[in-house]
Structure 1
Amino acid sequence: MALATKDESGVAIMTDTVDAATAAGRLAAGVAAEPAGPARDAAFAHALQVLHERRDEFNEQGHVSRDYIALLKKAGLFGVAVPEQFGGDPQPPAQFMKQVEQISAIDPATGWVASFGSAPVYFASLPVETQRRIYAESTDIVFAAGMFPMFEAERVEGGYICSGEWQFASGCKGADLLGMGLRGGEETNGKPLTALVDPAKVDIVDNWSVAGMKATGSHNVRADRVFVPDEMTFVRGGKPTIDEPVSRYPVIAYAAQVLAVVGLGAARGALDYVTEVGSANASITGGPAKGNRANYKSGLAKAEADLRSARAFFYETTEEVWAKAVANEEITDRDKALLRMAAAQAAHVSRDVVLAAFNLAGTGAIFEGHPLQRFLQDGLVPAQHAMLQEHIFEAAGALLLGLDPGIPSFP
């Protein structure tokens, strides 16, 4: 059954009565997280084991298969940010991100897809009734979004007519619900709007041809005059309509953190390789095992120290701000700036550590099939992301000095 709405010119736009919230719930309803405790821990351990076996498959096909995403759902990865009042089991950010880090130490691209288990924090600014509908059939919703470029949607009675093509919709082939970025206005304080749609209403443009993060399947999403009702749009980073610790934690900072932690995992995977495997390799020229060389020992030690230092800053800051969210204390712009700074630092140090591991591995690491290639190609990507690039340090430093950060909506 369909309903007709009209645009400003009087042209009818047909829309299904089954909205995106209901469609998402039905898509997700077949798989649910195991009960918290031993069963969920076992599901996570199983997912890690399977990933060892299938990571090459995901890389070759260019996306993480939906049946594997189902394993991550069973492990609870896609319910970590769903509020308790809707039946969720929200997790502290550090707890969730350490799981993403473990996944990324096996396959960073799969870790990137898993990191969007935190995405429901965005939904906290939706109307309460919309959130209730989204989670009515399942609290394990997989969300993917192409936010940019932001398009000017056509305003009609009750919502928007959306047309455009959005980039970088990571994990879109396995998503239960998709988002599209719309240009905001004075009413959004310059922040973008996100329009939520049923994946069946848009086209995935299969154009993800990249050197790194191949398995994220970050294709374009195209819409042609798709109607999105007002209640299925929200301001990205807008004021939450519910009040729980998970909705108090800074949403934009969290979005940057879950990507940065993928870099930490990639760096750990690379270091584990050069420590446990690469160090025993002898040179093809007849030299001693690489681990017995002075530059290998000192290079490994420095990389380990750098990674652990960045990781400690990252999680220390996370825990401090989370404690404020739990206690319902004010989370200041300085707190948010430290989160953004720690995330950027983690991403950039991780990239340096991956390159250090590559350097230690020597000539053999240049071959496509070398184990370090996975961590090299994927591990360089997080620091390239707009939320983690060098300018974040300048913006954070300006804010710490009481100056204008120079970036809209920062931190």
Structure 2
Amino acid sequence: MTVVSEPFSTLAAAGSAAAIRSRVNVPLRFPDGFVSTAEVLTFHGLADGKEHLLLALGAWEQALLDPASAASGPLVRLHSECLTGDVFGSQRCDCGPQLREAVEEISATGGFLLYLRQEGRGIGLYSKLDAYALQDTGLDTYEANLALGHGEDERDYTAAAQMLGAIGATTVRLLTNNPDKAAQLGVLGIRITEQVPTGVHLSPANHRYLTAKRDHTAHTLDLAPAVVPSHDEMLARVDALVPRLRERAEETEQIRRLPDATMEDLRDAGVFRMLSPKAVGGFGMGVETYVEAVRRLGRGCPSTAWTVGHLIEHVWMLARWPRDVQDEVFANGPAPLAAATGAPVGQAVKVPGGYSISGRWTFASGVMHSDWALLAVQHGDVRLQCLVPMSDVELLDVWHTAGLRGTGSNDVRTENLFVPEYRTLDWALLSAADNPGSRIHQEPIIHTPMAALLNLVAPAAALGAAEHAVELFRERILVRKVKNTAEDRQADSPLAQARFSLAYGLVAMARLQWDEAIRVVTASYQHRPVMMTDEERAQFRLALALSGKASADAVRHIMAGSGGSAHRLSHPLQRIQRDVDVLLNHPTLTLDPILEQAGRGLLGLGFTVPSF
């Protein structure tokens, strides 16, 4: 929301000028592991004589002095001291999460956090605790203040205006949901070009408190966040889709994309919102829910699992970009769909305002359902990812394959396409744990290095497909009569019993390796920054590759014992085999190079393929 206030001609309204008395650098660390560094300033001559602090964060000098930034001003947050929330983590308010959020957002853009010694909206710590007791009897936060003989909000921001004036920040972007802060600063001579809302940190304990702020003092709070399903609820939704995916598997293969009915079912189930951050209306779920959902979709249709797995993952990729891009792509909902491809890498030429890119990119999975394309390009020694609308690229219908036909993984082409600079990002920064989005969103998965999730879709789809194949084989041998045999059904044959048990065991092995890979990647959340050691990365990639191989071996073993009729195009087993064979040729499951690099990692020799 933009709120342009007209200041008085000078800061005279703020009283006598304040002066900076000291500066000191202070490293900051929050309980969730987020770190930053602040230059903390103290002042002489503040109107109320209190020991307020100004924390200068990020590239604050550039935000203050750069002419391109001066028109809008640095990002500023006025944060009133809250001992119970800031220090002890009280859930009766949202002050602690707001402080954490503000430091991260201001660090990312450059600006100032003013820590104002105005406990309890200016009534003091003891009175605030007395107000809490009254709130327990049924009064809201404002009524309790009045009952104690105080004003609803006794805070005065004269000292804040003095502090901003002393550092030269007379034009600012104000990070707040409170219209009174903007109004007071405007009267005191601070020009506010934009009022940037803070997040809504809703909990059962503070719902009534935030509702009072919204209804009583017009705080800009949306207290109807998305209802986030639990892990089990999300997987139950996915399981409910599996029978429909099986019914549409042949159609999916024939039209070489996901049917519209399937896309509608997936949206209705909220599948694409799984990894989308809660701040934009997503579910903010973790890697365990995501990969298990892809695996279960693979039990219904591997092409669907592959496509959906990547579309979910690409929402997660978009949440790693800076705020201006996120504001654009999430403007129409919490799950913008994008295809992403970097093979081969295109070329970029620097032009005024951005880049001109050209290239032909292959294997753009999900492109038939996307509004955006994420394209890798090379500019000198730097690899960039460019975000472009699908309407700006040429789609080439080339996906004619033996397996995974329903993914529609076609090529895209551009020739001298202009991409504005803000929609380009260094791949190294985007793929790192400390990416721009990690400074905006608190979900741990946003901090996960890019390569971890990129390697999960193929083995998940393969395992789900193999589990379905075992299910089909069991049903088949319990009723099938094999020619030229004495048994009434195939299951009565000792050889068939042995074949089934071997297939079953191979899938169990695939599942165990799969579980090990997920254990390794989730354990990396304990590191700060979130990252894997070389040994962990080797374990992770090796476990996924062995899981994929065991899945494929199980499917081939099943097909060898299923007779000629299983090779008819109408039979799901032949489709599963073709899909899994294609999956095994994806770089994330190609065994020889993975074995080589994993061996180097496990032996401490270092990787010769940096992207491994």
- 1:64-75 equivalent positions in 2, closer than 5 A: 64-75=258-269
2:6 counterpart residue number: none
Percentage of pairs with the same residue: 28
Q: Is the 1:63–1:215 Cα contact (8 Å) retained in structure 2?
A: yes
Partner of 1:132: 327
TM-score under structure 2 length normalisation: 0.58
Q: Which residue is 1:3 aligned to?
A: none
Q: Does 1:404 align with 2:606?
A: yes
Aligned counterpart in structure 1 of residue 296 of structure 2, from 93, 97, 102:
102
1:166 CA drift (Å): 0.9
Query: Per the alignment, do residues 136 and 401 of structure 1 end up closer, same or farther by CA in structure 2, a change over 3 Å counting?
Result: same
Tell me, in whole angstroms, the C-alpha distance in 2 between the residues paired with 1:132 and 1:316: 37
State yes or no: 1:381 paired with 2:582: yes
Unpaired runs of 5+ residues, structure 1, are 1-32
Q: Which residue matches 2:561?
A: 360
2:253 paired with 1:53: no
Cα 1:279/1:159, change in 2 over 3 Å: farther
Where do 5+ consecutive residues of structure 2 fail to align? 1-225
Alpha-carbon distance in structure 2 between the residues aligned to 1:267 and 1:392: 21
After TM superposition, give the deviation of residue 39 of structure 1 in Å: 8.0
Find the aligned partners of 2:241 and 2:526 in 1 and give their Cα distance: 30
For the structure 1 residues 203 and 67, does the alpha-carbon distance in structure 2 shift closer, same or farther, using more than 3 Å as the test? farther
Bigger radius of gyration = 2
2:344 aligned with 1:149: yes
Match of 1:242, SS state, is helix
2:229 maps to which residue?
A: 36
Partner of 1:152: helix, strand, or coil?
strand
Per the TM alignment, residue 384 of structure 1 is displaced from its structure 2 partner at its CA by 0.4
Q: Give 3-state SS (helix, strand or coil) of 2:248's partner.
A: helix
* Alignment-derived partner of residue 284 in structure 1: 483
Question: Given residue 251 of structure 1, which amino acid in structure 2 is its aligned partner?
Answer: M
- Aligned match of 1:266 in 465, 479, 500? 465
- Show the counterpart of 1:193: 384
Contact 1:398 1:404 in 2 (8 A): yes
2:306 counterpart of 1:112:
yes
Shift of 1:40: 5.8
- Counterpart check, 1:63 vs 2:257: yes
Q: Per-residue deviation at 1:315?
A: 2.0
The answer on whether the counterparts of 1:34 and 1:40 sit within 8 Å (CA) in structure 2 is: no
**2: distance between equivalents of 1:59 and 1:74?**
22
Assess if the C-alpha contact under 8 Å between 2:509 and 2:547 holds in 1: no
1:91–1:48 distance in 2 versus 1, CA, 3 Å: same
- Give the SS at the match of 1:59: helix
User: What RMSD, in angstroms, separates the aligned Cα atoms of the two structures?
Assistant: 2.4
* Alignment partners' CA distance in 1, 2:358 and 2:452: 29
- 2:596 corresponds in structure 1 to 394
**Displacement of 1:323:** 4.2
Distance 1:362 1:79 in 2: 42
Q: May I ask how many residue pairs the two structures share in their alignment?
A: 375
Please report how far the alpha carbon of residue 314 of structure 1 lies from its aligned counterpart in structure 2 after TM superposition.
1.6
Is the contact made by 2:336 and 2:371 (CA closer than 8 Å) also made in structure 1? yes
List structure 1 segments (4+ residues) > 6 angstroms apart after TM superposition: none
- How big is the shift at 1:42? 6.6
User: Greater relative contact order: 1 or 2 (C-alpha under 8 angstroms, separation 6 or more)?
Assistant: 1
Q: Deviations over 1:156-198 (max 9, x none)?
A: 1222112221111112111122122212554x4xxx4221111
Distance in 2, matches of 1:282 and 1:114, equals 38
SS at match of 1:384: coil
In structure 2, how many angstroms separate the alpha carbons of the residues matched to 1:384 and 1:291?
33
| Change beyond 3 A, Cα 1:306–1:45 | closer
SS across alignment from 1:314: helix
